[in-house]
A and B are shown apart, each in its own frame.
Chain A
Amino acid sequence: MGVGGASRLTEKVAEILDKYPGGIKLIDSIEYLVTWARANSLWPLVYGTACCAMEMMATGSSRHDWARFGVEVARATPRQADLIILAGTIVEKMGGNLITLYKQMPAPKYVIAMGSCAISGGPFYYDAYSVIKGGDRLIPVDVYVPGCPPRPEALLYGIMELQKKIKEEGRRKPWKIGKLLKVPFIDPHTLAKEDWAMLEQKKESRQQQAREQFKTDNPDYRPPKPTRLPKEKFAVVPRMQLSTTGRENEHLFSIIQNSWPAISLFRQPDIRPETVAELGPEYILDLEVEQEHYLDLVRFLKEDKELGMDMLLQLTAVDWHDHFDIIVHLLSSKNGYKIFLRSPVTKAKPEIVTISTLFLGAEWHEREVYDLFGIRFDGHPDMRRLFLNDDFPGHPLCKDFEDPERVVKRPY
C-alpha cells in the first residue's frame, strides 16, 4: 500500500492484478480493510489550547464517550497520534510549535479544526494583534467543526465526517498532505458590502423604468408597517448600599496625608480628608505621586502598621496619548480595604523604578507592562518580554500601535 497510498509500486501491482479476474476485487478489499482500520482507530493528540479543549474533554467523558468510536487512547506524544483536534485559539507564538507537532506526527495524519477560533479566529478576528486567523493557515485541515465551543455531539459528528472522508481513500484518492490557506488577513465584512454595492448599481439602472411603471399604476401605495416585538419593561431599581467598603476613606487618607502632605487624589486637586467621604461609598482612594516618591510611597503603604497594604493586586499602565500612567493596586488582607496609586511617566523617557524588591509578584506584572507598553523598569531582575515573541514589532497596547499585516481594523 505504501504510506502515501498510490506510490509507483502499488500502481504496477494494480496493473498486474487488474488482468486477473479477481484482481480488482482483491485490491479494493485490501484498501477497504486498511481504510476501515484507519477510520475506526483515530488516536487524538493531547492538544488543547483554550475553551474548546473543555468540550473536547467532555466528549471524552462518560456521558458522550468518544471511546465508542475507537477514539479513546489520547496519546501525549505526536509520534503515536494520528489526529490533531485544534481545540482553541492558535496564537502567533504557538504557530511554530503547532507546525513542529504536525511534522512530528507519522503519516497518514488528520486535522479537525474545532471551534470558531481554529476555523477563522472567531471572537479574536478583529483588532487582535497576536491571533492567527484560522488553523488552516498553518497546517492542512480536513474537517471544520463550527461552534464556540461546539457541543460534544457536534464534535462527534465532525469525527464521523472525518471517518467518512478516510473511508474514501485508496489508490484513486490517496492520502496526501493538504493545501494551506495563503490568503492575507482580509475583512470579509467590508468586502461583502463593496461587492453588494457594485451589484446594486447594476440593478439600479435595470430597475429604473420598472419603478416608474410601479409608481404610476398604484400611486397611493402605503408600505406595510413592520410590527415591533413587545419588549418587557422593567422598573428602575435603586442600587443596594454595600455594607463595609468606603467608610474608611477619611481615616486612610488622613493617615497618608500626615506623613505625605503633598499627596493628592487623581482628578481631585483640592481634597482634604474631611471632604473625601462625599466622593461616594464605593470610591477607592486613587493617589497620584511623581516618579521620585513612587517607590517610597509604595514602601510606606506596605510597611505602615495601621495601613498594612500587604498584597499587590496588580501593576498596569494606561496610555493617555501624551503620557503613560503606571497604576499600582494594593490590598490589605487583614482589614480588606484597597488603595490605588498612580505615577505619570513621560513618553520621551518611558522608565520607572521597579517595586519587585517590595512585592515579588510585581516582577511578572512589570514584564507584562514592558511587553505591551514599552515602559522599562530599571532594577528589574529579568527585563524580558512576557507574552510576545522578542522580535514582535512595537508595543501593541499603545494607542498609536499600527500593524496592517497582523491587525484587521473593526469595520464599525
Chain B
Amino acid sequence: MNQLPTNHAFPTHNAIGELIRHLFPGGAVYINGFLTIASLLLLVSILPVFLIWLERKVAAHFQARLGPMRVGYHGLLQSTADGLKLIFKEVLKPEGADTFVFFLAPTLPATATFLVMTILPFDRHLQVADPAGGVVYALGVSSLSILGILLAGWASNNKYSLLGAMRSGAQMISFEISLALIMLLIVMLTGTASLREIVLSQNGTILDWWIFKLPFLGLIAFVMYMISSTAELNRAPFDISEAESELTGGFATEYSGISFAMFFFAEFVNMFVSAGLATTFFLGGFLAPQIGIGAIDAAFNFIPGFIWFFLKTFLVIFLYMWFRWTFPRVRVDQLMYLEWKMLLPANLVLLMSSGFFLAMGWIL
C-alpha cells in the first residue's frame, strides 16, 4: 500500500483534523481521509438535488411562470421527489444491448466529476487534495465523462443514441483543446499548476483577479472559457448530443430509472465543477473581494472563504442557465466551425499577446 501523502501535502489543518490527530495519533491519517471523502460525497449528493431545483425555478422565472410550487415550500422537495421516483422505476435494458457496457456507462460521468471535485479549493484550508499539477489532473480526469457518453451511445443498440454519442464525442474532444489552452494561459500567468496557488496569486483587490488583471485579455479569456465549458457540459446552445427535438433523447434515449438518474445528476454536478474551476481561475476562488474602502473590506473578510467560493460559483451557474434559456441550438458543423476556425486561433493569439504583456510587465 503506497504511503499516503505526508501531512504537508494534506492541507486539512483545521480544528477537526487537529482533534482527531490528537485523539488517535496512530490512525488519524485514515480517519481524516475517510472524513474528507464522506463530506465530499455528502456535498456531491446534496448539490444536484439543489441545482435541479434551482434550474427549474430559474428557467420558470425566465419564462414568466412559477415553476415547481406544490411539492414542499416553493417546490423545494421537487428534485427529491424526482430522484426518489427514478430510484423506484423499473430499469429496462433494450434487447440486443451490451449489458455490461450498458450499465457501466452511467457510472463514468459521475466518477469523472467526483474526481475533479476533489481538487477544488473551497477555502484556504478546505481542500481534499492539492496536487502540484492540479490543472493537468483536472483536464485528464474530465475526459473520462466523454468515455461514458460514447459507451452509452454505442451500448444502447439504438440509432438515435449512436448519433447523439458520435456528436458528443466530436464536440467534447474538440472543445477539450480550447479548454486546455485557456488553462495553459492561466498556468503561464501564475507560474504554478496547483489550484491553491492560482487562487492565492489573485490576492489583493478585485483588480488582481485574473479576469481584470490582464487589461482586457482576461475578460476575453473568461468569455472563451464560458463558451468552451458550456460545450464541454453538453449544455445550452451546444446541447447537440441530447438534442431534445432532433434525437428524442440523444445518447440517453434507452436509459430509464436509476441509470438515467445517474446521467441526469452527473450533468448537474459537472456544471458545478466547471463553474468552480471558472471561479478558481478568473474570479479569485475563496478570496473575498476587496474594493479598497476599509469598512466594507473588513466586513467581507469576516465572511468565511467558502461562502465566497459558493457565491461566485452560483453566479457562474446562473450564467450557464441564462445561456440555456435564451439561445437556440447550434448545428454540428457550425459547432466544429466555431471551435476549429474561431476559438482555436483566438486562443493562440490570446496566449501570444498575454505572453507579450507578461514580458512587458503590463499586468496591473
Given A40-B71, A76-B248, do A70 and B89 touch, yes or no (CB 8 Å)? Answer: no
Check: B326 CB closer than 8 A to any chain A CB: no
Given A40-B81, A67-B68, A79-B255, do A34 and B56 touch, yes or no (CB 8 Å)? Answer: no
- CA gap between A38 and B71 in the complex, in Å: 12
Check: B65 CB closer than 8 A to any chain A CB: yes
Who on chain B is nearest to A160 by CB? B70
Check: B38 CB closer than 8 A to any chain A CB: no
Q: CB-defined interface of A28-72 with B at 8 Å, one 1/0 digit per residue? A: 000001101110110000000000000000000111010111101
Contact: B90 with A70, CB < 8 Å? no
Contact: B255 with A80, CB < 8 Å? yes
Given A41-B78, A76-B244, A79-B249, do A70 and B88 touch, yes or no (CB 8 Å)? Answer: no
Contact: B68 with A70, CB < 8 Å? yes
A126 to chain B, nearest CB (A): 36
Check: A279 CB closer than 8 A to any chain B CB: no
Check: B91 CB closer than 8 A to any chain A CB: yes
Who on chain A is nearest to B80 by CB? A37
Contact: B260 with A80, CB < 8 Å? yes
Contact: A33 with B84, CB < 8 Å? yes
Check: A329 CB closer than 8 A to any chain B CB: no
- CA gap between A33 and B81 in the complex, in Å: 9
Number of interface residues, chain B, beta carbon within 8 A: 36
- Residues from 107 to 135 in A contacting B, C-beta threshold 8 Å: 107-108
Q: CB-defined interface of A319-341 with B at 8 Å, one 1/0 digit per residue? A: 00000000000000000000000
For residue A36, which residues in chain B have a CB less than 8 angstroms away from its CB?
81
Contact: A80 with B82, CB < 8 Å? no
- CA gap between A40 and B80 in the complex, in Å: 10
Check: B92 CB closer than 8 A to any chain A CB: yes
- Residues from 66 to 80 in B contacting A, C-beta threshold 8 Å: 66-71, 75, 77-78, 80
Who on chain B is nearest to A2 by CB? B88
Given A37-B80, A76-B249, A80-B256, do A68 and B89 touch, yes or no (CB 8 Å)? Answer: no
- CA gap between A222 and B256 in the complex, in Å: 73
Contact: A65 with B66, CB < 8 Å? yes
- Residues from 66 to 93 in A contacting B, C-beta threshold 8 Å: 67-70, 72-73, 75-77, 79-80, 82
- CA gap between A411 and B245 in the complex, in Å: 45
Instruction: Give the contacting residue for B248; candidates A34, A40, A77; CB below 8 A.
Output: A77
Instruction: Give the contacting residue for B89; candidates A61, A69, A72, A82; CB below 8 A.
Output: A82
Contact: A106 with B88, CB < 8 Å? no
- CA gap between A76 and B253 in the complex, in Å: 9
Instruction: Give the contacting residue for A68; candidates B69, B90, B255, B260; CB below 8 A.
Output: B69
Contact: A37 with B70, CB < 8 Å? no
| Residue from the set B69, B90, B249 with the largest chain A CB neighbour count within 10 Å | B90
Given A3-B90, A37-B84, A70-B68, do A79 and B253 touch, yes or no (CB 8 Å)? Answer: yes
Given A70-B70, A70-B78, do A80 and B85 touch, yes or no (CB 8 Å)? Answer: no
Contact: B253 with A77, CB < 8 Å? yes
For residue B254, which residues in chain A have a CB less than 8 angstroms away from its CB?
77, 79
- CA gap between A285 and B85 in the complex, in Å: 66
Given A38-B85, A40-B71, do A67 and B249 touch, yes or no (CB 8 Å)? Answer: no
A interface, how many residues as a size bin? 20 to 34
Contact: A106 with B70, CB < 8 Å? no
B11 to chain A, nearest CB (A): 40
Contact: A68 with B68, CB < 8 Å? yes
For residue A63, which residues in chain B have a CB less than 8 angstroms away from its CB?
65
Contact: A107 with B90, CB < 8 Å? yes
- CA gap between A72 and B53 in the complex, in Å: 12
Who on chain A is nearest to B249 by CB? A77
- CA gap between A62 and B253 in the complex, in Å: 27
Contact: A106 with B85, CB < 8 Å? no
Instruction: Give the contacting residue for B249; candidates A62, A80, A107; CB below 8 A.
Output: A80
Contact: A68 with B248, CB < 8 Å? no
- CA gap between A36 and B85 in the complex, in Å: 9
Contact: B89 with A106, CB < 8 Å? yes
- Residues from 95 to 113 in A contacting B, C-beta threshold 8 Å: 104, 106-108
Check: B257 CB closer than 8 A to any chain A CB: yes
For residue B23, which residues in chain A have a CB less than 8 angstroms away from its CB?
none
Check: A162 CB closer than 8 A to any chain B CB: no
Contact: B71 with A70, CB < 8 Å? yes
Given A76-B249, A79-B256, A80-B256, do A70 and B82 touch, yes or no (CB 8 Å)? Answer: yes
For residue A34, which residues in chain B have a CB less than 8 angstroms away from its CB?
84, 88
Contact: A67 with B56, CB < 8 Å? yes
- Which 9 A-B residue pairings sit nearest by Cβ, starting from the closest? A37-B84, A77-B249, A62-B65, A106-B90, A76-B248, A79-B256, A68-B69, A40-B81, A106-B256
Please list 29 pairs of residues, one from A and one from B, whose beta carbons are closer than 8 Å in the complex, sorted by A's number: A3-B88, A34-B88, A37-B80, A37-B83, A37-B85, A38-B85, A40-B77, A40-B78, A61-B65, A65-B65, A68-B66, A68-B68, A68-B70, A73-B82, A76-B244, A76-B245, A76-B248, A76-B249, A77-B249, A79-B253, A79-B255, A82-B85, A104-B92, A106-B89, A106-B91, A106-B92, A106-B256, A107-B89, A107-B90
